[in-house]
A = this chain, B = another copy of it.
Amino acid sequence: MSDLVGDLEVRRLQRFANVYRSSELDKETLADRLRQTDALLISIWPEFLTDERLQSMKRLRFIQGILVGVDHIPFRALAKRVVVCSNAGAYSLEVGEHAFGLLLAAAKRVVDTHNSVARGKTDFKEFRGTADDILVLRGKTLGVVGYGGIGGVVAGLGRSFGMNVVALSRSRRRASESGIGRGVRFVRGRGALASLLSGSDAVVLTLPLTKLTEGVIGAKELSVAKRDAVLVNISRGDIVNQGALYEHLRRNPSFRYATDVWWYKQGRETLVTDYPFTSLPNFVGTPHISGPTAVASGRPVRMAVENTLRYLRGLRPKNVVRRSDYVTAR
């Protein structure tokens, strides 16, 4: 179990199981306990859980993530009996707000004009053309790609700003759930992504990284987007093709990309990119700070523990991941 789980939550789990924090066990005891482990409650996938080690965990039946993304979990090495649950919804509020912060910062050109002033551009006349590239949200169209908890928050905020909201969701059920999605037009299936991109003034990517979504935004998709659109990525860097994005930003100074998530290298997210994105005025990047804000609220751990308790008490856990989406992913 992860160190993020506090003593109060541990006591709740102890009513149904023996509970251990991996960091509190010496190497031998850890190996022994893992052989007896039924369920794992993890944050980012721990390095000691190698593929070999997983082979030895014959009793493992359940993995609960504290993060919302499960793309870091080595599905290839997991036996089919193991159920993996994401922590969908636990971060929606904070991450949704952050997405809108990035969207507005790029729409209103906060970062690049601030930096121009800081670098000594202090004549108002030099900023006269700036207004042309400022996106007023009211009456414009917001495309939300992926419509889980975060997508729902982003769509709701878009409606508050008077935007027309279009959402791409593969789940028919989700789109028709009462309450959520009010005032949101849903698109599905073939051609839906291209039509959403070509019709939207701002697009927020909120979908999970799976073998189906990796690199789903490439040169072709960027070419159909509006030339002065704002693209926000709040899910995972690798949803977007890095090289294609760099070329697109370089050639289209009115197009903007704002992200809190960065590309993977050797299976780990890194702030070191293959292209000099931060030298471009139409790139805004925050260092994956939306998630930790949510963790600080205590909600993600609480929700992960709740779901683990459901499993331990023999109830059906929520947010069970569809394995086939991940099997060939990293």
Contact = CB atoms under 8 A, between A and B. Distances in A.
Interface of A: 93-94, 97-98, 100-102, 104-105, 107-111, 113-118, 121-124, 127-128, 130-132, 134, 136-138, 156-157, 160-161, 269-272, 278-279, 284-290, 292-293, 295-297
A105 B124 CA distance: 22
Contacts of A286: 108-110, 113-114, 117
Contacts of A131: 289, 292-293, 295-296
Contacts of A107: 101
A100 B101 CA distance: 9
A269 B32 CA distance: 71
A97 B104 contact: yes
Given A114-B111, A270-B122, A136 B284 contact: no
Given A160-B157, A271-B124, A130 B295 contact: no
Nearest to A122: B271
B116 A287 contact: yes
B108 A98 contact: yes
Contacts of A284: 110, 114
A123 B271 contact: yes
A160 B101 CA distance: 14
Contacts of A296: 131-132
Given A122-B272, A286-B113, A136 B292 contact: no
Contacts of A104: 97, 100-101, 104-105
A69 to B, nearest CB: 15
Contact of A101 (B110, B271, B272): B110
A137 B160 CA distance: 15
A95 B5 CA distance: 44
Nearest to A136: B94
The copy count of this chain in the complex is 2
A149 B281 CA distance: 32
29 contacts: A97-B136, A97-B138, A101-B104, A101-B105, A101-B108, A101-B110, A102-B110, A104-B105, A105-B105, A105-B111, A110-B111, A111-B111, A111-B114, A113-B289, A114-B286, A115-B115, A117-B271, A117-B285, A118-B278, A121-B271, A122-B270, A122-B271, A128-B292, A130-B289, A131-B292, A131-B296, A134-B289, A136-B297, A157-B161
A128 to B, nearest CB: 7
A113 B287 contact: yes
B105 A269 contact: no
Given A117-B271, A127-B289, A134-B289, A97 B108 contact: yes
Contacts of A271: 117, 121-124
A175 B134 CA distance: 31
Contacts of A115: 111, 115
A156 B160 CA distance: 8
Nearest to A259: B114
A267 to B, nearest CB: 14
Contacts of A297: 136
Contacts of A136: 93-94, 97, 293, 297
